[in-house]
Chains A and B, each alone.
Chain A
Amino acid sequence: MVAGKLGRMVAAIFIVSFLTFALAKALPGDPALIVLGTSSGTMIPCATNPGPSTANDSSVADCRGISPSKLHPRGAVGPPPLVQKCDAAQCVLARDQFLHQHHLDLPIMRQYAQWVGGALHGDFGTTYDAAPERVSHQIAQALPATIELMILAEVVALLFAIPLGVYSAYRENKLGDKVATGFSFLALAIPNFVLAIFLVLFFVVALGWLPLLYTPWSQDPVKNVKSIIIPVIALAAGTIAVFARLLRSDMIATLQEDFILMARAKGLPPMQVLFRHALRPSSFSLLTVAGINLGALIGGTVIIESMFVVNGLGYLLIAAIEARNFPVIQAVVLLITAVFVIINVLVDIIYSLLDPRIRHA
């Protein structure tokens, strides 16, 4: 059974990799020309032209001149910046060099095979920058911040949600439970970036307790901890609500069981009954959702990272989209999706190992 699940997981990742690749290829236009026409950072130099050098002004053309419609991607605002003047022949040559350098001159299926083959070795090719960098290197630099944010958000969510859920179940339909329900509803409804705005206004602008921008751990651990409080709360709030509601409903069911009655009859203190006897059998679906949520958090970090300038995967993704740095976009999307799929399958497997009822079903 585990083998079947792993097989499906591998299949899913391959399909996802193909779709991600196809999505990038389906884009109308020539990536080389798009890159040639965009911001200076992703400019490739004019090719040194072996042909007749025509330096006089009338023949000098900006590379955009080749195909203006293709060079101006839909949705871009304003005229593309005039970066460098090459003559037409140089432009064609530069384009060819660019395509060759990034293996874009190969047939599509070979490009895909090469890309996937590289990805399996952790090699995602090189960026489209003028001085190409390894994509895997950029990703490795971005990972720690994202992982820190995700893990902390998950831990904070569990730390708050477990007592809250247990309390709500214990005081079912009493005032405390109703207040908790109301707050859960609000926390679920509020978008994380809107909550982040409220938190920034309160803790940064009004009280001045916390810094606005993120500081990496390697730079200053104390500042790092202070700067990560708001992003973590903004990410965790909705999760706390989901976890607490889930634990509450499972716990209410568990509290009806005979062994709880037995424990109570023995005269055990409520805390011990709740946390020692009732919590464990109530926490299976919480565990599942906590696992799946870890994957979902990756998506949520994108916006939080760009708000607080956290140099993580999400920030890298958005920067790459702005610069139209396709290898980076493809790699980040594939990586995030693969992790998401793997986590889901792992949770599935762990769940069936934990709960005998599922294993034997």
Chain B
Amino acid sequence: MPDPLPVETDRVMVASAGVLSAPDPEVNAELAADGTVPLKKKRKKLGFGFWFSVIWIFLVVFGAAFAPWLPIDNPNVADPCAGVASTMVNTGATPDQAKLIFVGQATSAQQAQSLIDQGMTVPADVNGCKNPTLDSRVNAYPSATHILGTDTSGRDTFSRVIWGARVAITVGIGAIAVGMLLGGIMGLLAGFYRGKPETLLMTVADIMLAYPALILAIAFVAFAGQSLLNVGIAITIVSIPAFARIARASTLTYAEREFVMAARVMGAKNSRIIMREIFPNVILPVTAFALVAVAIAIVAEGALAFLGLSVPLPTSSWGTMIHDGYNVITDRPLVALTPAIIMFITVLAFNLLGDKFRTIFDVKDTAL
């Protein structure tokens, strides 16, 4: 089988000239003329996995962006009926009996019933709760009132998942975007100028890589204090060296290529060569890694939150939710399972997108 590689790389050259879109049919025809096998853009279907990932990520990002304006419960406040509903479960009382028990008029269902029989009026509104049902109790199963059930404090799981997405997406995309920018610039400059700047920048990157990533993030948040900003900074710091290495590795390969020579011979300045010739090529592997890195960042934020080291309470984060649910996992598995599944699907979706991106643009694995 003839090696399709040269064609493939030529196509990347085309991309470098500014045509960052799908391969031009004319280019393929030209290449076919000089004897190589034309790159038949196999109209490979993107497949179910890809579209599922795109839709899922769109939903998560949409929820994260518009959480305050969505018609969902307050994520940090328990269902007003949570207490009464839990009383119903614990004592086997009817809603009216439970209300009486809850306000302290009675201690058991029988006593409450006899009080009602004696003509005591049941308060219509207990702490804002009018018609308690079992759907409102803590750790409730999914129902019409709470479509994903409630958590250990009677808060709506669905709304906490959406507000948790806000933290996950802010940290995931925000921290990785900054890490990609800083690390990318570091790697690009190191790979292009070589010499002393390279030694300096890569030594810094190596020292950062000397820390196990999660330990560095934990130590940073522990010392600097818990806040969304600090969690973001921690994850950015951890991600910079990886981006720097990828950007440097692929800059090194492109800096030696003929089209860079050509630009240099034509008198292009270094800044132009970097921006117009090298950057468009380097951005591909860096972006492919960035998609995976977003998934890693979401996991890292989740891990920090699980350890109680992410955003301060009561702000909901998927990791915090999983941790809360883990405490009652033997009785109410769903409380931990729901956020765990949501997180898993999100992480999987970003991984799938990264993988697809790699296939579509034929990014070779660069040395990590």
B226 surroundings in chain A (CB, below 8 A): 74-75
Expressed in whole angstroms, the minimum distance between the Cβ of A16 and any Cβ of chain B is 5
Of B215, B224, B337, the most chain A CB neighbours within 10 A belong to: B215
Closest CB in chain A relative to B103 CB, distance in Å? 27
Q: Of all chain B residues, which has the CB nearest A206?
A: B333
Is the beta-carbon distance between A191 and B225 smaller than 8 angstroms? no
Give bound CA distance, A191 to B308, whole Å: 17
Is the pair A318, B307 in contact by a Cβ cutoff of 8 Å? yes
- Evaluate contact between B306 and A321: CB separation under 8 angstroms: no
Complex CA gap A340/B211 in Å reads 7
Asked whether, in the complex, the Cβ of B347 is within 8 Å of the Cβ of A189, the reply is yes
Stretch of B134-142, B240-248, B295-303 at the chain-chain interface: B295-303
Chain A's nearest CB lies how many Å from the CB of B227? 6
Stretch at the interface among A84-92, A108-116, A291-299: A291-299
| Closest B residue to A298 using CB positions | B212
The answer to the question of A6 belonging to the interface, with a C-beta cut-off of 8 Å to chain B, is no
Complex alpha-carbon distance, A318 and B219, angstroms: 10
CA distance A201 to B329 in the complex (A): 7
The answer to whether B210 and A340 have CB atoms under 8 Å apart is: yes
Assembly CA distance A282 to B313 (angstroms): 50
Q: Give the contacting residue for B312; candidates A15, A27, A75, A200; CB below 8 A.
A: A75
- Among the 9-residue stretches A42-50, A255-263, A300-308, A351-359, the one with 4 or more Cβ atoms under 8 Å from chain B is A300-308
Q: Pick the residue among B213, B302, B308, B330 that contacts A204 (CB under 8 A).
A: B330
Query: In the bound complex, do residue B207 and residue A299 qualify as a contact, i.e. CB atoms below 8 Å apart?
Result: no
- Among listed A18-26, A158-166, A170-178, interface-contacting one: A18-26
On chain A, the residues within 8 Å of B319 by CB distance are 193
Of chain B, the residue at the smallest CB distance from A321 is B222
Chain A, 46-90, contact with B by CB distance < 8 Å: what is the 0/1 string?
000000000000000000000000000111010000000000000
Residue numbers in A under 8 Å from B224 (CB-CB): 26-27
Considering only CB atoms, which chain B residue lies closest to A73 in the complex? B225
Q: Contact mask B203-219 → A, CB, 8 Å, 1/0? A: 00011001111110011
Evaluate whether A212 and B330 lie within 8 angstroms (CB atoms) in the complex, with A193-B306, A321-B309, A329-B219 already known.
yes
Picked from A193, A198, A201, A333, the residue with its CB within 8 Å of the CB of B215 is: A333
Asked if B212 contacts A337 (CB within 8 A), the reply is yes
Tell me if A96 counts as interface (CB < 8 A to partner B): no
Contact A194 B227 (CB under 8 A): no
Number of B interface residues in the complex (CB < 8 A) = 42
Does A347 lie at the interface of the complex (its beta carbon under 8 Å from any beta carbon of B)?
Answer: no
A12-B207, A194-B322 known; A336+B212 contact, CB < 8 A: yes
Contact indicator B303/A200 (Cβ below 8 Å) = no
Q: Are B213 and A299 touching (Cβ within 8 A)?
A: yes
Q: A16 near B211 (CB under 8 angstroms)?
A: yes
Chain B residue nearest to A320 in the complex (CB): B222
In angstroms, Cα B340 to Cα A317, docked, is 24
Q: How far is the CB of B61 from chain A (nearest CB, A)?
A: 18
Would you call A153 an interface residue if the criterion is a C-beta within 8 Å of the partner chain's C-beta atoms?
Answer: no
For residue A237, give the distance in angstroms from its CB to the closest CB of chain B.
Answer: 13
Shortest distance in angstroms between B136's beta carbon and chain A's nearest beta carbon? 24
Complex Cα gap A75–B223 (Å): 11
Pick the contact of A205: B210, B219, B223, B330 (CB < 8 A).
B330
**Pair count A-B, CB < 8 A:** 124
Q: Which residue of B lies closest to A297 (CB)?
A: B212
Contact of B337 among A74, A201, A299, A329 (CB under 8 A): A201
Known contacts A77-B313, A197-B336, A189 near B295 by CB under 8 Å? yes
B160 to chain A, nearest CB (A): 17
A231-273 near B? 1/0 per residue, CB < 8 Å: 0000000000000000000000000000000000000000000
CB pair A185 B214 closer than 8 Å: no
| Residue pair B307, A205 in contact (C-beta under 8 Å) | no
The reply to whether A336 and B343 form a contact with Cβ atoms under 8 Å apart is no
Binary per-residue interface labels of chain B (51-73) against chain A in the complex, 1 for a CB within 8 Å, 0 otherwise: 00000000000000000000000
Instruction: Indicate if B263 sits at the interface (CB-CB under 8 A).
Output: no
B326 neighbours in A (Cβ, 8 Å): 197, 307
Type the 1/0 row for A319-346, where 1 means its CB is closer than 8 Å to any CB of B.
0011000000100010011001100100
Are B308 and A322 in touch, CB under 8 angstroms? yes
The complex places the Cα of A78 from the Cα of B191 at a distance, in Å, of 50
Q: Which residue of A lies closest to B318 (CB)?
A: A194
A22 CB to nearest B CB, Å: 10
A300, B302: Cα distance in complex, Å: 13
CB contact list, B90-121 vs A, under 8 A: none
Asked whether B207 lies within 8 Å of A191 as measured between CB atoms, the reply is no
Query: Which of chain B's residues have a CB closer than 8 A to the CB of A307?
Result: 306, 326
Docked pose: A238 CA to B90 CA in angstroms: 42
Q: A193-B303, A198-B340, A336-B212 are in contact. Are A23 and B329 (CB under 8 A)?
A: no
Q: Which residue in B211, B227, B299 is a CB contact (below 8 Å) of A74?
A: B227
- Contact, CB under 8 Å: A20 / B219: yes
* 9 smallest beta-carbon distances between A and B, as pairs: A75-B226, A74-B225, A299-B212, A299-B214, A191-B299, A321-B222, A75-B225, A189-B351, A189-B348
Q: A193-B302, A193-B303, A341-B210 are in contact. List 14 more A-B contacts (CB 8 A).
A: A19-B207, A23-B223, A24-B223, A185-B355, A193-B322, A194-B322, A198-B340, A302-B215, A302-B218, A303-B306, A307-B306, A307-B326, A333-B215, A340-B212
Binding site for A on B (CB under 8 A): 206-207, 210-215, 218-220, 222-227, 295, 299, 302-303, 306-309, 312-313, 319, 322, 326, 329-330, 333, 336-337, 340, 343-344, 347-348, 351, 355
- 6 A/B residue pairs, CB under 8 Å, sorted by A: A20-B219, A77-B312, A191-B344, A193-B302, A333-B219, A337-B211
